[in-house]
A and B are shown apart, each in its own frame.
Chain A
């Protein structure tokens, strides 16, 4: 069996996928802007709400939109990994750190969404003064897999250290 085959397949898979990541990040940011910020802006331009109330609404909406922004950052880390893999740089610090950071950002996003988003929104809009925990089965899965990717990133970091050590010896 050719030992390079899985690497060349990984390289092929990585090449071109980076563009899809950019599309994904753009979709997340555009849909977030449309969902959270477009309605109050439309109301303000139509003169239905005052600019002062617009700022307050936008602030409250920004709290709810934050998990999507954090998820977009997590996805963006993926682009760094794909760029490195496309150049056949599988064991570099840049790629391994980006794998770990993708997991970390996704964890921050879901943690924030479950614990902080609704709670802070309730405090800002004065609709609730207590902690609101809001989660779905999908979120639990995402937490587990983000933690798993973080662990894989750490293993890759260790492998990168070994490879660098090996390269120095050779």
Chain B
């Protein structure tokens, strides 16, 4: 292989890693802000406010039902918060230049999984649990919203990309092992 083409490939590779690291270092603090903001919102909206309502209100029956409903509704955003945590870790690895590491691919897959779980929880699990709490046991309920469907789509996309990245990592490792054997 000509040395100049090898150099071009090296340059593209290095540039892509540097670009990804630069973008990741900008996005990581943003992911942290989103994570903190989301946790505060979840805490305030689904936990502190309903607990306060349940304990300081006269109508206890209705408020404990509301409390349970709020805890169920907190499920999907909490799973998303877990996804944000994984995203933060992933961006941290990108910042260190580990664009194609095996652990990086695993983290990417976990982010995809968290999105799929959050969407499934929001569309299928939460509506049915809410119905059971309210005393209706008939049939399977679901709640299709554009946001949930797109979230599931993005989750699927990330899972697929994680598999592709894993393949790149494994092929690169196999090539390196071959080249080491030749040397």
Q: What is A's interface to B at a CB cutoff of 8 Å?
A: 1, 3-7, 9-10, 13-14, 17, 21, 24, 27-28, 31-32, 67-68, 71-72, 74-75, 78, 81-82, 85, 90-91, 99, 102-103, 106, 109-110, 136-149, 151-152, 154-156, 158-159, 161-162, 165-166, 169
Number of A-B contacts (CB under 8 A): 170
Q: Is B111 an interface residue (CB 8 A)?
A: yes
Residues B151 and A140 in contact, CB atoms below 8 Å apart: no
Residues B20 and A143 in contact, CB atoms below 8 Å apart: no
Number of interface residues of B (CB under 8 A): 63
Set of chain B residues within 8 Å of A141, measured between Cβ atoms: 34, 38, 77, 80-81, 83-84, 118, 151
Set of chain A residues within 8 Å of B111, measured between Cβ atoms: 145, 148
**The residue from B83, B108, B144, B153 contacting A102, defined by CB atoms under 8 A apart:** B153
The secondary-structure label for the interface of chain B is helix
Q: Is B67 an interface residue (CB 8 A)?
A: no
Given known A24-B149, A162-B12, contact A13–B80 (CB-CB < 8 A): no
The secondary-structure label for the interface of chain A is helix
Residues A137 and B45 in contact, CB atoms below 8 Å apart: yes
Given known A3-B170, A145-B87, contact A151–B27 (CB-CB < 8 A): yes
Interchain CA distance A154-B99 in the complex, whole Å: 12
What are the interface flags for B132-175 relative to A under an 8 Å C-beta threshold, 1 for contact and 0 otherwise?
00000000000011110111111011111101101110110110
